[in-house]
Structure 1
């Protein structure tokens, strides 16, 4: 799953790494402990013919047509996102990217859970595949897609966020690309060999804790 991540790269670095025309780009405040149920930075087309923008979405997906007590998941699995009644409309028409510098996962060790930070070996930003929908309040809410863990990520957990490679960003964001199989043929995950991880402080367990020290390696 993906339940916590970090985004501390400044807006110019994220925009440069994207390599796509960006109409608007809100300023990114460094966050080392991004938790569900908060506003997070996303890249999306607000409408079919609207330019690409970097703005905020609520990390919790509940479309405006859902019942008041409908679930508000933070993740959607790649196995079901295109076919589930709850997600398939967003998968077809409202895909987004969640930029991140890395994410956290917890490894059971001797009856405790040791947090690890997972990121690219070259420390460049990651692009997490997401879907969004307009919430009842009219603002966007999103979920991050997850897939079976690959490579070193499988050492920590059995699932991981769907991290896209650079060639997949434009087709993933294209609102006119709606066919399930066409999308799957055009979109590829980042090679597992480009990821790395290390153990970090249990301070990350508390969502109120912040700071660059949260991603510093600690003895395992």
Structure 2
């Protein structure tokens, strides 16, 4: 799964990296410890252009009566998403990119679970493949999202058995293009993505608490 990640870049770097034609990203703030339930940075295509904005992490399907379901839907398994009512329609036309520069996973050790920060070796910013939806119930209206995951590759499986799907640069625009696609075709697209080399290092247990959001979250553990 993917349950925590970071995004430390400033607005200009994000706008430039993802070729966005907008002057600013409303209410954007960098974060050392992004957690479910928070508003996170995503990019969609509105049919005319790409747009960056904030979505709440934890998908609330449009048919849901209780927004608390979102805390159970922070991730969607890419292998079966095309078969699930909650995700099938979203795969067709509500795809998004969720922007990050690293993600955390917890490795089981003899001394308990050790948090690891995982990054791409050859670039700083990247995008998770995501899905989004608009939910309204009574007077409430929310735009929410989920991160698509897959079985861990050879590098990540030493840390955890699942990992988020990271979009190669050349496939980002194809993922969010506004044309309607069959869910099965979208699944095949995800399965065809080439993987990039990763790197990781152990960080302190400090990051375990979502209340902690400062540079200490990403400080490496150094041997004495």
Q: Which runs of 4+ in 1 moved over 6 A?
A: none
Whole-Å separation in 2 of the counterparts to 1:12 and 1:99: 14
Other structure's SS at 2:133 match: strand
Q: CA deviation at 1:109?
A: 1.1
Quote the residue 1:59 is aligned against: 57
Does the 8 A contact of 1:22 with 1:54 survive in 2? no
Quote the residue 2:34 is aligned against: 34
CA deviation map 1:136-188 (0-9, x unaligned): 23331000000011132111000000001011111100121412344345555
Whole-Å separation in 2 of the counterparts to 1:189 and 1:25: 30
Whole-Å separation in 1 of the counterparts to 2:83 and 2:178: 18
Whole-Å separation in 1 of the counterparts to 2:68 and 2:32: 30
Q: CA deviation at 1:12?
A: 1.8
Other structure's SS at 1:86 match: helix
Structure 1 unpaired stretches of 5+? none
Quote the residue 1:117 is aligned against: 117
Q: CA deviation at 1:29?
A: 1.5
Structure 2 unpaired stretches of 5+? none
- Please point out which of 166, 189, 195 is paired with 1:191: 195
84 and 64 in structure 1: CA distance in 2 versus 1, 3 angstrom threshold: same
Does the 8 A contact of 2:120 with 2:198 survive in 1? yes
CA deviation map 1:109-154 (0-9, x unaligned): 1141100000111341121000000022333100000001113211
- Please point out which of 123, 136, 143 is paired with 2:146: 143
Quote the residue 1:97 is aligned against: 97
Q: CA deviation at 1:196?
A: 0.7
Number of equivalenced pairs:
216
Does the 8 A contact of 1:25 with 1:55 survive in 2? no
Other structure's SS at 1:139 match: strand
Q: CA deviation at 1:9?
A: 1.0
Root-mean-square deviation (CA), in Å?
2.0
Does the 8 A contact of 2:149 with 2:164 survive in 1? yes
Does the 8 A contact of 1:97 with 1:128 survive in 2? yes
Normalised to the residue count of structure 2, the TM-score between the two structures is 0.88
Structure 1 residue 77 corresponds to structure 2 residue 81: no
